[in-house]
Structure 1
Amino acid sequence: MSIFSWLRPAQPLLPQMLQQRLERLPASSPLDERSLREQRWVVLDLETTGLNLNKDQVLSIGAVVIEDGAIDFSQQFERTLQCDKQKLGPSVLIHGLAPSAIAAGSDPAEALLAFMEFVGDSPLLAFHAPFDSHMLGRALKDYLGYRLQHPFLDVADLAPMLCPQANLRKAGLDEWIDWFKLQVFDRHNASADALATAELALILFSRARQQQIHSPLELQQRLGQWKRRQQAPSL
Structure 2
Amino acid sequence: MKLRSLFGRPALRLAQRANLPEPQPLDSTPLGRARLVVLDLETSGLDTQRDDILSIGAVAIDAGVLNMADQFECTLYQPEHRANQSTLLHEIAPSHIQSGRAADAALSDFMTFAGRSVLLAFHAGFDQRMLARGLRRDLHYRLQHRFLDVAEMAPMLFPEAAERCSSLDDWQHYFHLANSERHNAAADAQATAEILLILLNRLAKQGTNTLAELNNRLSLWRRLQHTRSGRL
Residues 154-165 of structure 1: pairs in structure 2 closer than 5 A:
154-165=149-160
In the other structure, the counterpart of 1:129 is 124
In the other structure, the counterpart of 2:3 is none
For residue 146 of structure 1, what is the amino acid of its counterpart?
Answer: Y
**Unaligned regions of 5+ residues in structure 2, if any?**
1-6
Q: RMSD in angstroms over aligned alpha carbons?
A: 1.6
Cα displacement (A) at 1:167: 2.9
Q: Per-residue CA shift, 1:15-73, capped at 9, x if unaligned?
A: 43442232121111211212211000000000000011111000000000000211111
In the other structure, the counterpart of 1:96 is 91
For residue 81 of structure 1, what is the amino acid of its counterpart?
Answer: L
Cα displacement (A) at 1:166: 1.1
In the other structure, the counterpart of 1:72 is 67
In the other structure, the counterpart of 1:4 is none
> What is the CA–CA distance in structure 2 between the aligned matches of 1:26 and 1:170, rounded to whole Å?
36
Bigger drift between 176-185 and 196-205 goes to: 176-185
In the other structure, the counterpart of 1:8 is none
In the other structure, the counterpart of 1:234 is 231
Q: Per-residue CA shift, 1:73-127, capped at 9, x if unaligned?
A: 1211000001134454310111000000000000000000010011111100000
> What is the CA–CA distance in structure 2 between the aligned matches of 1:234 and 1:17, rounded to whole Å?
53
**Unaligned regions of 5+ residues in structure 1, if any?**
1-11
In the other structure, the counterpart of 1:55 is 50
In the other structure, the counterpart of 1:143 is 138
The reply to whether residue 25 of structure 1 matches residue 23 of structure 2 is no
TM-score between both structures, scaled by the size of structure 1:
0.91
Q: Would you tell me which structure has more helix in proportion to its own residues?
A: 2
In the other structure, the counterpart of 1:225 is 220
In the other structure, the counterpart of 1:3 is none
- Counterpart of 1:201 in 2: which secondary structure? helix
Identity rate, percent = 47
Distance of aligned partners of 1:13 and 1:28 in 2 relative to their CA distance in 1, 3 Å threshold: farther
For residue 112 of structure 1, what is the amino acid of its counterpart?
Answer: L
TM-score between both structures, scaled by the size of structure 2:
0.92
